[in-house]
Structure 1
Amino acid sequence: MTLLIRDGQGAWREPVGHGYDNEAALQAILTEHPSLVPGVAGEAIACREFESSVGPADVVILDAEGAITVVECKLRANAEVRRTIVGQVLDYASRLWQMDVEQFEQRWIRADAGRSPFDRLHDDDSELRSRVAANLAAARFNLVLAVDALNDDLRRVVEYLNAITKPTTGVMLVEFTRHHEESLEILIPRSFGAELVDAKVDAEARMRPRWTVAQYTEWCSEHHQASLPAVEAVLDGFSEQGFEIVGGRAETPSLNAAFPRDTGERVWILNLYTDRARGPLVEVRFNAFGDTEEAAHFASAVCAVPGVTITAKQLEELHFRRRPNMPLAGFTPESARLLVRTISSALASHDA
């Protein structure tokens, strides 16, 4: 692809320079701007040279949802780009698989100037730590091959790996073309494989039957009896306030609750999940209003409910992108009902 630039009314011309001096230059860009990498959602952080015990992974990315992305960078000048990049990223991922979350944190700290990823992502309630532990145990990673030039051999490898791997492992190829002239730099990302990853994840989810309310409460009764009164109170609140409940397709029982608007639209505002370590969890979608004044009012009302483990100030600082999974064990039946009533009242006021 040819890129043209010009200054003011001058003639169009191609930039003088292109490419990278070395692979470290590409690593630095992706570490500073992890959102350039496909599959990375919302707030995210990255570190370079994450020690895997078979060598350092170029870049490891962690986002606020607990998703882990391993990036290996190679330039076309490397004659072994096709063989080495694939072997290295798979080797690094295999070393992350089943790693203890404490070990993951310590290796990140060593690679990131002594900073814990959980501190940087404001994991005050250890929710993120729990998600990362689950992803490490299940080998739920995205593997990204970052290059300065796509080629057909790498495309074929990515297609093949996505065809033979589970939906928990996504493999993507991204070309980061760089042009530069004096103080001007232009970076153009072009990805391949993201659609293949989405397709296999969607296909696997569609094959899973939706959970029922009965299955959800049965799981809670069997695995976390102490939380059952709060669970039943939330479900009663859904019924009282007219919420629509649709079973989720997560690996363990889950339910999605929608608030019906007067216009006939639905706002999917609450989710119920289950986790063997933390028990039943409730998630409030604080991002339903975006980063607005209405979002601030909504957060203030909901965060005042006893049992909610995040503050309105924290949500505002994060531009309301957090969707914390809060253990229902921290709610009484009364506060669980209050949570549903508060959300219903806030949404009804918004519609008025």
Structure 2
Amino acid sequence: MKILIRNQKSEMWQMVQSVAYANETELQKLLAEQPSLISLNEVREGAGPLVAAVREFPLDIGSVDLIGFTADGDIAIIECKLASNEEIKRKVIGQVLEYGANLWGMGYEDFEKKILDKSSRNLADLVRVNLQNQEWDEESFRTNVGQALQSGNFILIIVVDEINEELSKIVRFINEAGKPAFSLAALEMRRFQKEQTEILVPHLFGVVNTGKSSTAGLRKQWTEERFFEAVHNSLPKEIVTIIQDLYTWSRLKSKRVWFGTGTASGSFTFHYQKNGKSVSMFSIYTNGNLFINYGWATTQVSAESLQRFHQAITKIPGFEGIPDDFNKWPNVRIKDVFLDKPNVLNQFKEVVEEFGTYFVLL
């Protein structure tokens, strides 16, 4: 492959030089730092970009080079090989399939323990940090990851610096003739350089699986009608009354009440808006849980503001045990803190309202 570039001020084209990777670890590191370089939507219809990846994921049969995740809960198993490695031909196919087979049927908790072996954060926190300020439904993510593990609905990707015909043909055969539940692709990641400029040329090979993402079509925007229909069908009448009260109050006090996109549970979130920024304060779910959104708020408001809010809310009966880890999303059950306790409900509203008068944006 030849690649030529030129400066807009010059009429001369110059050829860039192909640059080899020092080793497979270098290729692995590059993708771990920016997993979105792999365009999953070209591999599987409806799949979003990879937002986080864990290197050297441990299994009984060996370590997977990379395990990547979309915000919706798709799982990508990624194995990196250089053209100089003999395993780039047939062995790598068996290797990546064996990794998928070993993950198949694993429970979410066991899977997360392996994540913690390689990362200082649990899986949800790892994804959340990389999403920064984006709205995200953790419960749906966990559900979809668990479903992918149980069904084996993975995205298997072999990343190489230079493809060979044998590997490309095997991938095409598996996808066209086998019609598997998983998706398989070979991705060539060639690298070029001209002076201080580096160029990456990703190219997918093989007819990829056109099946939809394991989460496609499941995530739908909840509405007030859908939310309260689910609440009425799943919770006692007295809890529904409390949630309705909090929702009505939220609509009065917040300029933005946002409904989530969960698959298993619906939610609405109370936001403050200031200087064009939206600050997420708390969320209420159709299962009767209330989450304090420290994890989002810590990226939006000052630590002093959050500390003041935390000191106020932990004085409310039922909220005393909320940790002051502002990277977390602590939660309480509505029936435990508010049922038959109108004074506690009013105290909660007062603390949230007061926060709106003093918080300082980052």
Q: If the length of structure 2 is used for normalisation, what is the TM-score?
A: 0.57
Equivalent residue, structure 2, for 1:257: 269
Shift of 1:26: 1.5
Shift of 1:213: 1.4
Match of 1:216 among 211, 215, 231: 231
Calculate percent identity across the aligned residue pairs.
18
Equivalent residue, structure 1, for 2:103: 96
Equivalent residue, structure 2, for 1:135: 145
Q: C-alpha offsets along residues 278-302 of structure 1, whole Å, 9 cap, x if unaligned?
A: x7352638547x945x454654454
Shift of 1:91: 3.7
Measured in 1, the distance between the counterparts of 2:281 and 2:212 equals 23
Matched, 1:280 2:289: yes
Equivalent residue, structure 2, for 1:60: 67
Conservation of the 8 A alpha-carbon contact between 2:257 and 2:270: yes
Amino acid at match of 2:122: F
Measured in 1, the distance between the counterparts of 2:103 and 2:87 equals 24
Measured in 2, the distance between the counterparts of 1:258 and 1:34 equals 32
How many correspondences in the alignment?
A: 317
Matches within 5 A, 1:157-172: 165=181
Measured in 2, the distance between the counterparts of 1:61 and 1:74 equals 17
Measured in 2, the distance between the counterparts of 1:342 and 1:350 equals 12
Conservation of the 8 A alpha-carbon contact between 2:232 and 2:240: yes
Amino acid at match of 1:118: N
Shift of 1:254: 0.8
Match of 1:178 among 171, 186, 191: 191
Equivalent residue, structure 1, for 2:250: 238
**Structure 1, gaps ≥5 residues long:** 316-321
Structure 1's 91 and 16: CA in aligned 2 closer, same or farther, altered over 3 A? same
Q: Which moved more, 1:149-158 or 1:97-106?
A: 149-158
- SS of corresponding position for 2:50: coil
Equivalent residue, structure 2, for 1:148: 161
Measured in 2, the distance between the counterparts of 1:234 and 1:188 equals 51
Measured in 1, the distance between the counterparts of 2:148 and 2:357 equals 40
Amino acid at match of 1:205: R
Measured in 1, the distance between the counterparts of 2:231 and 2:335 equals 18
Amino acid at match of 1:60: I
Structure 1's 85 and 329: CA in aligned 2 closer, same or farther, altered over 3 A? farther
Q: Aligned Cα RMSD in Å?
A: 5.8
Conservation of the 8 A alpha-carbon contact between 2:81 and 2:87: no
Structure 1's 208 and 5: CA in aligned 2 closer, same or farther, altered over 3 A? same
Amino acid at match of 2:293: V
Q: C-alpha offsets along residues 296-344 of structure 1, whole Å, 9 cap, x if unaligned?
A: 4654454442348453x744xxxxxx6x262436972266665555555
Equivalent residue, structure 2, for 1:50: 58
Measured in 2, the distance between the counterparts of 1:342 and 1:253 equals 26
Equivalent residue, structure 1, for 2:25: 24
- SS of corresponding position for 1:179: strand
Structure 1's 133 and 344: CA in aligned 2 closer, same or farther, altered over 3 A? same
Measured in 2, the distance between the counterparts of 1:158 and 1:285 equals 46
Conservation of the 8 A alpha-carbon contact between 1:27 and 1:48: no
Equivalent residue, structure 2, for 1:205: 219
Conservation of the 8 A alpha-carbon contact between 2:116 and 2:122: no
Measured in 1, the distance between the counterparts of 2:345 and 2:188 equals 48
